[in-house]
Structure formats: structure tokens, C-alpha cells
Chains A and B, each alone.
Chain A
């Protein structure tokens, strides 16, 4: 299990990185490498040029202001996880990152790398969609920004063009008083989720006022659950709205079968997670 040969470069500016990325059809960005290098060790991915952006000036920054958190492409998951200001501004970041891999993976893996990799069972893409994050991208024609909702197109498939790289992601702060829950069902600690949920819930007097629900681990891109969001409005533990489970099941109808779970199980499980999240949000016990 050794990588096939490739050419390596270590640009120091985004412009150089973009240029190197364009130098070959099968060039790839290496940031944390925690998904790319395993794929290369398995020789599952054809790579001719590796563009190591870990030392590009400024890409390892984590910026935090009242409006949100901006994470550079080289910033590790551990760095963001341990950033108290980021956790205070966008609580979902810490909540999600706690579920990502293991310590050793987070020490190398990057937040932006997880988005660019777009594993359907990963937490961070779902968080990006749930919070309305914006992905900053650089390419030969300059920079552009892509809403997370438009960024994830399918499993391991994003709106990035071949010669573009993610430079940063901006997670906006959730509405005041809202609770962000990241919950999932895994076979083992640290695994990708069999079924997962990011919920941003606003509550009023013991009942849900509104919620933004994004399922993951269901197969394709992070999955908004719009019918369930409607059904959850006004939900309270002592008078749960009928049809919530059915709504989630309908929203998650595309959930897939694999060796870990059936699509049916995934739909049931994410429905259970929605109920759990609503209870938890109302109990004020944020999962962060």
C-alpha cells in the first residue's frame, strides 16, 4: 500500500498553488491529507502532481468576529476545535469537530479539506449547509464564493472546478438564542456516520419556533429536510406534532444501502435524531 509516483510542489502563495494545480490534469491539492493519502496508498486515485498548500501564506488562519468564523484552507481541525472564540461564535463547529475522526486525524486534517472532499457521511459539510456557510474558492479566473447549499453536488462531488482550490470557509454565527445540535449514529467511535443530523433550532416558550435540519450519511450531498423543518415548527415534547417521523422519512427518501446500513435504517435513524435534537434543544442542553 504505497502511493504511485507523483511530482510534488510546495507553493507559498495562492496564485502559485492555482498555477501548479493547472499544470496537470491529475494534480491534487494536499492540505491535511487525511483522506487523500489513504486513497493514494490504496492507489485508488490517479495523482500526477501534489500541490502542498500547508505553507501558503495566510491559509492557516482562523478568524473570528461577531458575525462568524472564517477558517483558512490550511487550518487544522484540532486548531478550530480548540479555538474558544470560534466555539462561542459558531457552537456547531466544536460540536461537529468532536465527531470528526480521532485526535490524530484532526491534528492533520483541515476543515476546508473535509468540505472539498465532500464525503457524504462527514459532519462538516452538513454543518456548512445547516449554518449557511460560504466557501471561498480561487482559480485561474480569480476568486469566487459559493454558498454551501450550492457547493455539495453529490458524494465526493462539489462545485469546485478541476483547477480551483478552496481557500477558506466562512461559517456565519447562528441566530441569537438558537441551539446547534450535531448528533450521529456511528458503528464505532470516530467513524463516519451511518446517519447524522445537524440541527439549528430556535425555541419559544417550550416549543420549537423554527429549525434548520440537515441530514448526513444518507448517501449523496448533505440533505436538507424541509418537510421535517415545517413539521417541527411548534413541536413540543408533550404535544409532538404528528407526522414528524413521516416527514423526515420522506425528506430522506434517497438514503442509500451499503454494508453498514440499509436506506430504510438510515431514514428511521435520522428521524430518531430529529426527535432527539428537538428534545435536547428544548431542554437547553446543547450538544456542544
Chain B
């Protein structure tokens, strides 16, 4: 299925592999894009959700009468009104069922849980009424659990009365070889590593517009997965799936938060159906911070067995996920499994025993965020390696060299079954070191005269599973996608795919692929994504799957189309099919001077002038392909292992930081990325993905942190003044280089690149700051790394030495 092996296609211009300019740009640049909040339908009503202000409570009464009486308010709905809507499914058998209702009934489990919906003529009035509903709500507060310790303490208050404890799942494999390693190694240490609660935070919040007309419910949703929304909405509202159409308009970013299907995705369509009028809800930022999923709050307790020469013999790790209330569909449990699956990163460390635990707390439900558990694991692994190096007096770089997967070692099967199909683990590290050397020299020279500054360097070598199984995450869906390719009578090409466009450039890539397959210009290709009525079923954009899914499905469909087109052309050229070649967009007989047949002529024959078709050929020129990657597994094998990704990208991140001792301020002086995502379709887009991912990774390493009050489980954040999304001024200069190790089993060798950028920074920043402060013995074990945590570490080190705790 490679472009290079089809002898019938010859192009003077190839588009795959080039930075073809994005077709998506013009709309946002000129203000003519239509995001969900820009949709206007005559008579559209505005919905505002009323959300719990208690972290854990029974709701004993809701007086909606005052709100309903406000001029301009059409209705106020509570859980009782939605009795005809099903509960969100609990598809995964091994996690505790949460039986989530679209609106909370008599029990709320986090601040932000929606329990009523106000419908009014505009948002201002709806908010006025919502405050009256809030005032008319009577809570009976229940004891709260604000973190993992509280949740799992004996006798802890339970979120779900029908559970035995707050533990949702506990999967504990036992590996005798790790027992042996711990027993036989020269030394061991134990440590606990912590990653903090964050979120993807797209600049566009979520939003839903719904309208029912002629029996069809149309839902415009800012979702990463419109087909999955369709399936779920139809299921929960009891409607036939063909009567539900879900469209994602232009999407203002997703980053995982919009993979989930939320209460509002179901309630707004229900309201439109109930009232027979178009309705919309646009999440505001205050809601967004508590009502869209959080992520990354994990704790890892490790026991590390190592030898005096620095050899890491084995690691036993218990990874614990704070799931928040767990009331989210699909559940937010999968990332911690991914953490464990990927925890050894680019290192050859089979002796890893990883236990996976999830517990519910009275906080916003945890879910997906770009990186999906990988950064947390990379943080643990790199901190372990730095610790072992320091404890044994081994060079940190040399130790990594010794541990990295070597050229020729792929395919390499990781401890949990992940099968690294190819990669450049060692090469990437060496290349990144080369790029780093002058950057490090520059930083050292810049600060040489300042006794208040120390310079350090940090490393991360990671793997990035791409195009993963969605079965483990959802308990329901799988891992393939469909595309349809059509050539119209005028010869223009239309590609429709189940993937969604969320800002990553999917439409541009689809056009590049189809253009090369069919020998046309990308400008001649119309791309349709994100509309369940116009595009075939697909799972959408997440899991770094866009490039591979588009490649697989578009190539499959194009190949089928080309096959038919060539038969038509051969007939029109009165030639043998095997002699017909496609050169620069026209069919002709190889080696002949005879005139060619254009795509327009073939398209016209197929759809219009059927007299030009070969006898007995079915008319039309539209083909589909459903692509499911080879080697992608959806279920554990007999040994409890699984290769749950179609391919595995890899990369190295290195950061050079300066630390100001007196204030604890950290500055990333340079950030180096060497990245390998297999064959690159569009270099500019890949680099953009890396830049954006690194920025989010740095955000997590140093800035963003959802903090909750430990006594009440109330959020200690409400705005961007508390949740610190970095600006331009916080970002270092990034230098990005690439390897291309093609995925041997995938079309074109494409792997995927959406998430890798987020993986390195927590490990890199913590490692670099610890390195800068090595003379104090500082060894950071938690993110984010902040001025306060840096000063606290210095102070603790000085206190331990009996020195003064004051600033130098």
C-alpha cells in the first residue's frame, strides 16, 4: 500500500513529506471560521447548567419556582425531568460502576457537578435564573475525601454507597523476576513520586448546539469524536442512530478533554427535543475549570534494585490515580495503565512490576489529557535513573546510554507487552546531546559571574504509543477508522473520513495523501471531516492517531478507487489495464503518444456518460476503506500483556535550566527535542505538534496545578489567575530535530506525533533543577517545580546539614 511501490502512479510532484501550507488557516485568520459558539439559529435558546457548590452532599430540595418565574426563562429542568434518558453506560467490567445520570439527582460528589439546567432566551437571563436555582437548593453536606490518602484510609467516607471502599480498581501483577532482582541487587531504595492535577485546557471551551427538525436531531458539538457522540446520544435518548447527526464545527483545541462525552452533550439535545426549539450551551471558563476533565494526578511508590555500578536490576512500582468523582464517560481510568505500560520509556528494563490502582475522590472527574499518562511515567523513570546515578557515582549520561534500547533491538517487547516496532532510541539521545553541548556552554558562560545562579541539565528518553486501542479506555469501541473517496464528474476529488479536525491540520494531511494517491493537486481535493452524516464512522482525533488513521483509511479507499478508475480509463483508451499509467493526474498508455484521459473524463463516464463504461461495470466512482492497524491488540494475552498501540514513536528531550538560589526562580535556557514519529507527512505540522506539546509539558512541569482544600475538597482555583497557563514569556526557545524510523507494519511508515511533546518536560525540568542544585543534594520528586518548591528544597538541604536556612 505504499506510494512508492505502485508502478502505475508517476508524479512529478509529491506532496507527502512536504510542508504543504495549511488549508485550515484562512478562516481563523480572517475571522470567518465557525466555532460552535458562532452558530446562530433563529429562535435558539440558551442553556445554563446549575452546578454543585458542595464537594459531597445530598441534595434534599431544589426550589426552581423563583427561577422559572424570571421573565425570559422557558424552563428549569432537574434530574427528575430526565427520567426518560438512560444512565451513561458502565462498559468496563473491572472498574467500579458509577451509574452516572446526565444530571445529578439527590447526590453530588464534586464541586461543579451539574444538577439542573435553566433554559432562557439569552445567557444573561439564564445566569440570573441559575443563581436563583442555586439559592433554592438545599444541601445536606457529607464528609469529603480530598486526596488518595483520605480516599483509601480505613473507614473513609465513601462516594458510592454500594462500593466496599473508594478503590475503583487495583490490578496487581506479580513478577517473580522482580522479586529476584530486589533480592540479588547490591542495593535498593524506595521513593514516592508525585504528578499534580492539570487539564488540557483548550482555548475554546466546550459547547453544544442542538436542533431537531424533520425528525432528525442535529447536534453541533465541540468534540474530538463526533461519531462516538452520535452513538452515545442515540443510545441514551432512545433514538435510532440515523436520526441523530453530530457535526463538529471548527474546533478550538481539544487536548483530550473533548474526547469524553459529558452530561451537557446529552442534556442539550434532550432539551431541544423536549422544547422543540434549537438550544445551545457554551461552557464558560469558570465552568470549564471544574466541569471539564482534569488529569495527571498520580502518585508512584517505587522500590528500585540496583548494583554498585549503577545497573538497574529491577523496579517495583505502585501507580495510583486520583480519579476525582469518576463520573465521566468514558471513564478516566486508562491513563494510569498507560503510565505503567510506558514507564520504562526508551530503556531496556524488562524487570518492571507495575501495580495499577485508582480511587475516587470528591473532585472533578479525571480523564484524558494529551500525553495520557506517559509524562507521569517518564517523570518516575528519569528521576529513578538520576537517583541511581547519584547514589553510585555513575555519570547520568553514561548510565542512560547503557540502559537505552539499541539499534537493532527493535522490535522490542516492553515489560507490559508494548511492542516497539522500530525507533531511534539511542540515536535520538546522542543527537540531542550533540545539540545540547553548545547550549549548555552558552548557559554556563552567561551565568558564570553570578554566584546566585546555578545551571543544570535534565534528560528524558520516552516512547509514545500511537493509534492505540480504545477498547481498554472505553470498554466498547475498538481502534479503526473509515474513509470514503469520491471523484466527481468534473474530476475533483472528495475525501471524507471519520477522523476529526481539532486544529492539528488533519484536512491538509488528508488532501496531501489523496493528492499523491490520485495524482492531483491538494487544491483539487475537498476534505470532509467531523460530520456523521457526510463522513463514515471513525473514532475521531486522540491518541496521536490522526496521521496513521488518515493514511491507512485514505490510502485504502484511494487504492480501490484508482483500481476502478484505471479500468474505466483502459476501456476509454482501448488499452489493456496493465498498460495504463497515471502520470501527473491523467491516465494514458505507457510509452504511447496517444492522448490521455483526464480525471474529469473518467468521473464523467462513471457518473454521467455511463455509455463510456466497460460492459457490465457498476456506475459511480466512490470507494471506502476501513482501516484497522495490524498488530493492534484490544485485549490482554494469557500472560496479562498487551500491545495496545499500532506503533510507537520515540524521542529525547533535554533541557538546560538556570536556577536563582535566592528566589528559587527557574528559567529554561534552551529546550532540545529530537523526535521520531516515523515517516513525516508534513514537517511543519509535526514541528507544530512538538512545539505545542512541549509547551503543555512545561506548563505541567512548572506552572499548572489544580489545588483543592484538603479539609473540604473545595477547589482553590476559579480563574486563570489561579490556574497558571503559561504565556509566551515563560516559553524557552525550542530546537527540534528529527529522525524518521518508518513504522514497518503501517502504510507509508507513518507513526503519529500528537502527544510526545508533552512527555519530556516534567522529567527534564525536575532533573535539570536537581542537577543545578546537586551541591545541596537536592533531588526533586514532585511536580510542579516552582520557586517555592525550589526554595523549600534548598532550605531543607541546608537544615539537614545544620546550616543557616536563610537566603544567601
Contact = CB atoms under 8 A, between A and B. Distances in A.
B284 interface: yes
Contact of B719 (A42, A245, A271): A42
B726 to A, nearest CB: 6
B724 A187 contact: yes
Interface in A30-86: 38, 42-43
A261 B665 CA distance: 12
The A interface, classified by DSSP as helix, strand, loop or mixed, is loop
B138 interface: no
Interface stretch (A107-115, A173-181, A189-197, A215-223): A189-197
B160 interface: no
Contacts of A43: 127, 131
Given A1-B284, A1-B286, A262 B729 contact: no
Contacts of B716: 259
Contact of A245 (B286, B703, B806): B806
B721 A192 contact: yes
B243 interface: no
A239 interface: no
B285 interface: yes
B412 interface: no
B127 A2 contact: yes
B12 interface: no
B284 A188 contact: no
B179 interface: no
Given A43-B127, A271-B807, A262 B788 contact: yes
Given A259-B707, A265-B788, A246 B806 contact: yes
Interface residues of A, number: 31
Interface string A247-288: 001000000000111100100110111011000000000000
Chain B, interface size category, equals 20 to 34
Contacts of A259: 705, 707, 716-717, 722
A5 interface: yes
Contacts of A2: 123-124, 127
Interface in B716-733: 716-719, 721-722, 724, 726-730
Contacts of B718: 42
B702 to A, nearest CB: 9
Given A245-B807, A268-B806, A188 B724 contact: yes
B21 to A, nearest CB: 30
Given A4-B128, A187-B724, A261-B787, A268 B807 contact: yes
B703 to A, nearest CB: 7
B409 interface: no
B41 to A, nearest CB: 20
Nearest to A265: B788
Contacts of B662: 268, 272, 275-276
Contacts of A249: 806
B664 A265 contact: yes
A5 B128 contact: yes
Given A259-B707, A268-B791, A272-B662, A191 B721 contact: yes
Interface of B: 123-124, 127-128, 131, 284-286, 662-665, 703, 705, 707, 716-719, 721-722, 724, 726-730, 786-788, 791-792, 806-807
15 contacts: A2-B123, A2-B127, A189-B729, A189-B730, A191-B721, A191-B724, A259-B717, A265-B664, A265-B787, A268-B662, A269-B787, A271-B806, A272-B663, A275-B662, A276-B662
Given A1-B285, A2-B123, A188-B726, 7 more contacts: A5-B128, A188-B703, A245-B806, A249-B806, A259-B716, A269-B787, A275-B662
Interface of A: 1-5, 38, 42-43, 185, 187-192, 194, 245-246, 249, 259-262, 265, 268-269, 271-273, 275-276
